Amino acid sequence: MPTLQDAISQAVDAQPGHVSIAEAIRRVRQIVRTSAPDVELQNLIGTAAAYRWKPILFDRVK
């Protein structure tokens, strides 16, 4: 079973060009069960995208 970090890496790497936070959160939740709130996932996904020098689209719906 993949870890949360593995799921985040997969979600970020699956998106060519910019990383959509909303899409990445959806993908992470499909890959692994997590009780982490969306805002925490947003921070982790944004950090992972930044480490890969990928632009980030902050489109998460509150």
- pLDDT digit string, tens, across residues 3-59: 999 999 999 999 999 999 999 999 999 999 999 999 999 999 999 999 999 999 999
Give, as one character, the DSSP assignment of residue 52: T
Residue 38 has a pLDDT of 94
Q: How confident is the model at residue 62 (pLDDT cuts 50, 70, 90)?
A: low
In terms of Cβ atoms closer than 10 Å to its own Cβ (0-12, 13-18, 19+), residue 35 is exposed
Residue 34 near residue 4, CB atoms below 8 Å: yes
Distance of CA 38 to the CA centre of its chain: 10
Q: What pTM did the predictor assign?
A: 0.91
Q: Extract the tokens encoding 48.
A: 């992972």
Residue 61 has a pLDDT of 65
Residue 41 has a pLDDT of 97
Residue 57 has a pLDDT of 95
* Sign of the C-alpha dihedral computed for residues 23, 28, 34 and 37 taken in this order: negative
